[in-house]
Amino acid sequence: MLEAALLTRAGRLTDATALLQRVLRGRTARDTTSDNIWKAANAPPERVPHIIDVVAKTIEVANPRPSLRTGQAFRSADPSLRPAGRAEGTARPHMPGALRSFLDRVERMGSAPGIGGVAHPSPAREPDVVPDGGQFVTGLYSNRTGSRTYKLYVPSGYCGQALPLVVMLHGCTQSPDDFAAGTRMNALAEERTCLVAYPAQAASANASKCWNWFNPGHQQRGQGEPSLIAGITRQVMRDYSVDPRRVYVAGLSAGAAAAVIMGITYPDLYAAIGAHSGLAGGAASDLRSAFAVMRQGAAMRRSGSAPGDGEYRWIVPTIVFHGDEDTTVHPRNGDQIIAQARANMTVGLQTRVQHGRVPGGHAYSRTLHADASGQAVLEQWVIHGAGHAWSGGSRAGSYTDPRGPDAAQEMLRFFLEHPHPRRSSVSTLSEAT
């Protein structure tokens, strides 16, 4: 059933119908492993051109208020740029009756098994992801690569002072609203007075809305998706008052792999990164190698050359979360993110391990890699018994496991402990690279 749903979302109605017919005839569905589901969801949709809209547009925000940096409010009535999860009046494509019946049953159920066997609810209505007094506004960024929309949470305590900025990269099939609901990062940002940006992957760039971390064209500074994510970060820094020493990036699954790439390629922009259920930078170079590394991990490799100097020339401080029963992205990948970071550091680190358990929830191991001053520059959480889901998340979003330690809270704590050691306003806001 999950495979048929993903095939339908990817626009592969013929394949979805054939699969349902086999199931209804009592035959065992073929190729229903998580690898093949992921492959089917990422195959090109039938008769849908892969075109990225590069036309610059402005955005309409409910009850817009002038930017405290520019004095201008976003305004547009373009319905194509509505916040994710609010596709009003969108018609379903024509599909066979059996397939329509199946989808209706899934919607009535309100939940479905997640990839890797993790239950993740599909809320009947859009979750409330905006704490009282805050704003969740929509923006658009464009460059020569293409365009991406994004959501930005502005806390009620923002009055023009320089705030930390956290960039959150969602996983496959997710949206900014869904990811915000599942991680509860907006609520934490309201408490700590931070800005949070959620770039949205376009279905035209990946049928399942995965960030293309496995494509070499999206692993380089100034190219592909890294240039778009960095561009969104810099645009927020221009439109709002942001402390350039406290800019961070985190993600889940494909978004975590993209976050690691951002730390490698833009160490001058991001002060620290967070990777939940992700993969090391450069772990794959095509779709085939992506499946291999997701199943079993890959040989650790150095992250390669990137701008920067001194102690964090190749990497930035990193916090990793991974469930040790993750069947979608092998837990070994979390180890390899840390190993890659350690291998590229020019200072020795001391390691200590702590153990704990969430009351009524999962046990965990927390490994701290500290520098000579005693500050942990790398931190790894292994959640025992957890699968492919955001630890400590809310059931209001997809791919969450409320029984784990709160990954969002721990990531934000780690981030705020690590301001960038040096920051140039020129390199931070430059669009050249």
Q: Which residues are annotated as catalytic?
A: 253
Closest residue by Cα to residue 381 from 401, 361, 359, 410: 410
Look-up: residue for tokens 């059933």?
1
Question: At which residue do the structure tokens 């066997």 appear?
Answer: 117
Close Cβ partners of 328 (under 8 Å, ≥ 6 residues apart): 34, 38, 115, 116, 253, 277, 294, 387, 388
Give the chain's radius of gyration (CA, Å). 21
The single-letter code of the amino acid at 23 is V
The answer for residues whose C-beta is within 8 angstroms of residue 252's C-beta and 6 or more apart is 169, 170, 171, 174, 179, 183, 276, 277, 278, 390, 399
**Hey, what amino acid is at 218?**
H
Could you tell me where the beta strands, DSSP code E, fall in 184-265? 195-199, 242-252
Distance between CA atoms of 367 and 378, rounded to whole angstroms? 8
SS3 letters for 359-373? CCCCEEEEEEEECCC
Torsion sign over Cα 229, 235, 240, 246: positive
Q: Which residue has the tokens 């760039």?
A: 205
Q: Which of 244, 220, 282, 168 minimizes the C-alpha distance to 433?
A: 220
Distance CA(95)–CA(9), nearest Å, equals: 12
Going edge to edge, which strands form the sheet with 318-323?
135-142, 147-154, 195-199, 163-169, 242-252, 272-276, 318-323, 376-383, 363-370, 350-357
Closest C-alpha among 223, 281, 288 to residue 257: 281
**DSSP 8-class letter at 357:** E
Cα separations (Å) of 29 from 9, 20, 40, 232, 310?
18, 8, 14, 42, 54
CB-based contacts of 216: which residues, under 8 Å, 6+ apart? 285
Residue 141: strand pairing partners: 148
